[in-house]
Amino acid sequence: MKILILSAYILLVPMAAAAAGNDVFSGNQSEQSQSQSQSQPQSGMSKALPAWSLDKFLPCNAGKDLAMEQYAYSNVTISWSGPVKNGKAHGRGKMTRYADGKVENVYDGYYVDGIREGQGRITYADGTIINASFSGGKMTGDVSLSKPTGEKYNGNMVNYRYYGKGTYYFPTGDKYEGVFRNGQFYTGKYTFNNGGVKYYQRGTEVEKITDKESGYNPKLNEEVTEYFDGDWNRTTRKNAEYYRLITYSAPNIPKGPVRDYYKSGVLQNSFGALYIDYDYTSINVYEGENKVYSKDGDLLSSSYFYNHVLHGPFVEYYENGSMKTRTAYNLGKYNGLYESWYDDESPKFFAEYKDGIIEDGHFTEFDRNGLRAEGFFEQFVSEKNSWAYSNEGVHASASYNSLMFNVSNPDKTYTRVSKMFAADAKSYSAEANIRKDYARPGQGYGLCFDYVDASNCSMFLIGSDKRFTIISYKKGNREVWIDWKSSSAIKDINEVNNLKFFYISNQVVFQINGIEVARINFTPLSKSAGFSVYGAGQHFVKDFITKDYTLR
């Protein structure tokens, strides 16, 4: 398979379809699926930790011995008071965790080969106490938690977050009983100290709970088969499209890899998990390697999860076997080079990311016909000297990918231009997501282009009444290309509208929310782009993108 690597950049990369989130039929496994499942890790935490993991073996006892610590950031150190075996904490003792030299918490419990296993108690610096159980270094299962403020929790917890069934007691006498998801109320009943109640279902407050529990109660410590329909709802073997082979060490707690199969017996998904809910697949907690396969047994994606977020290397393939995407994640955010291709192996998108942000804003993208775009995703903060402004009733402030104009003068037109296209660019475009809090009829806001100075520029504006206009100034003389005109493409004023213009073949094409609204013959004086606002109000600009187009 040909892999093309460019030292270039991309933008607006579609999120890869995560392999997680599926629950799963039992039939005869093919030789292919059996061999693949045997290659998966046999526990939630391998003792050989990957370099990208935030679980790390840290030195303790003056650096002589080691113990694994979760969320082992660079400022974390530990000290161990307890037995040691083969240079690792082993047996019962006390582990003190420090952040920047200050005590964060003390763990009193058991280690096996440097990894927490079994029962233990964690006492935090603020007096919070958690009695919990650990498996492979991960906190899973039932816990009891108490805070010095009087709050208490009894129920399931996964990696220091409330997950699954539990009861939370407030010092006021209120309590919540039900299912938690990532520390938030999910489905359950909240009772006030005066007897009043309110209900939650799937994270939303409701009049009453209509979801019914399945009553599923699988056997523990032996492999069981679970059946699912095409939408991953539990069903009978007769009606199943998928099945799952899984072993539970405790209620909702899987032991070893989880394997999902198509009803043909071909492996569909193999993954690690810390928690599997019997009724709500959306609150499963995925951990470790995750591989997804096609009905023919071909690998479609390979990824890794840390605490249910993508973390580490990620690759994705088309069903024809060619590579679709290759990148890496850092706690759910793109980190490093992002590369993607079309199914004929021709290049598609490329970008360099750091913690979810495109470094330097530059990217490269291609269409299937070979048209190449060298683009720029405006980072307003790093370019704030060009964008920030405060004068004459106008204040402009910048954040990473957005800009806010606060205009107090109702008769003021404010224009800010920063981006210049390449001098030899034959075609180019600019777009942005724009919103305004309020406006009077006749007031507009949008893109500025062909800017030389305030007396020589053009504007593509929308207004509060779902109309748009295109105007141009030449030596101070105003020319209306399109007078205020209604368009169903425009959303309400307090909603985000995407405005875009293309210059190509001596024409400018104007789009609102992806719909062409005008096309005008045009010879530019200046290859530039920015924003114009007219009238008082707060204007928000986000995701400003410019592109120069060339043929490969």
pLDDT for the residue 282: 87
Structure tokens at 23: 């629950």
CB neighbour list of residue 131: distance below 8 Å, 6 or more residues apart: 119, 120, 121, 143, 144, 145
Residue ranges and CATH numbers for the domains of the chain are 31-44+220-353 (3.90.930), 56-136 (no CATH), 384-551 (2.60.120.560)
User: What is the arithmetic mean of pLDDT over 125-140?
Assistant: 94
Greater confidence, 224 or 390? 224
Q: Mean pLDDT of all residues in the chain?
A: 86
Structure tokens at 83: 């037995």
pLDDT for the residue 44: 34
pLDDT for the residue 9: 24
User: What is the arithmetic mean of pLDDT over 498-509?
Assistant: 93
Residue 419 reports pLDDT greater than 80:
no
Residues 361 and 345 sit within 8 Å (Cβ to Cβ): no
Residue 382 reports pLDDT greater than 60:
yes
Structure tokens at 318: 């088309």
Q: What are phi and psi of 33, to 5 degrees?
A: -70, -35
pLDDT tens, position by position, 471-499: 999 998 999 999 999 999 999 878 899 99
Burial of 311-329, coded b for 16+ CB within 10 Å and e otherwise, reads bbebbbbbeeebbbbbbbb
Tell me how far apart the alpha carbons of residues 385 and 312 are, in angstroms, rounded to a whole number: 36
User: What is the arithmetic mean of pLDDT over 81-97?
Assistant: 96
pLDDT band at 552 (very low <50, low <70, confident <90, very high): low
User: What is the arithmetic mean of pLDDT over 384-406?
Assistant: 80
User: What is the arithmetic mean of pLDDT over 51-74?
Assistant: 87
Residue 386 reports pLDDT greater than 50:
yes
Residues 316 and 16 sit within 8 Å (Cβ to Cβ): yes
pLDDT tens, position by position, 231-246: 998 999 999 999 999 9
User: What is the arithmetic mean of pLDDT over 335-354?
Assistant: 96
Q: Of 440, 485, 478, which Cα lies nearest the Cα of 459?
A: 478
Q: 3-class SS at 522? A: coil
Percent of the chain with pLDDT over 90: 64
Residues 103 and 113 sit within 8 Å (Cβ to Cβ): no
pLDDT for the residue 277: 93
pLDDT for the residue 22: 33
Burial of 146-179, coded b for 16+ CB within 10 Å and e otherwise, reads beeeeeebbbbbbbbbbbbbbebbeeeeeebebb
Residues 348 and 342 sit within 8 Å (Cβ to Cβ): yes
User: What is the arithmetic mean of pLDDT over 326-346?
Assistant: 96
Q: Of 153, 155, 121, 160, which Cα lies nearest the Cα of 139?
A: 160
Answer whether 0.85 is exceeded by the pTM: no
Residue 421 reports pLDDT greater than 90:
no
Is the CA virtual torsion 257, 260, 264, 266 positive or negative? negative
pLDDT band at 2 (very low <50, low <70, confident <90, very high): very low
pLDDT for the residue 410: 74
Q: What angle do CA 221, 270, 4 make, to 5 degrees?
A: 160
Q: Flag the least confident range among 359-373, 399-413, 418-432.
A: 399-413
Greater confidence, 12 or 83? 83
pLDDT for the residue 33: 37
H/E element, 428: strand 427-436
Residue 545 reports pLDDT greater than 60:
yes
Helices assigned H by DSSP within 25-104: 31-38
Q: Tokens 């964008």 map to which residue?
A: 387
Q: Of 422, 419, 402, 380, which Cα lies nearest the Cα of 529?
A: 419
CA 457 to each of CA 213, 434, 474, 490: distance values in angstroms, whole numbers, following the listed order: 64, 20, 7, 23
CB neighbour list of residue 179: distance below 8 Å, 6 or more residues apart: 164, 165, 186, 187, 188, 277, 280, 283
Percent of the chain with pLDDT over 70: 90
Structure tokens at 463: 């207004």
Residues 300 and 293 sit within 8 Å (Cβ to Cβ): yes
Q: Flag the least confident range among 25-34, 49-58, 365-374, 395-404.
A: 25-34
CB neighbour list of residue 487: distance below 8 Å, 6 or more residues apart: 466, 467, 468, 512, 515, 517
CA 470 to chain centre: 37
User: What is the arithmetic mean of pLDDT over 5-23?
Assistant: 28
pLDDT tens, position by position, 19-44: 233 332 233 333 333 333 333 323 33
pLDDT for the residue 524: 87
Residue 12 reports pLDDT greater than 80:
no
What is the residue-wise DSSP string for 331-371?
TTEE-EEEEEE-TTS-EEEEEEEETTEEEEEEEEEE-TT-E
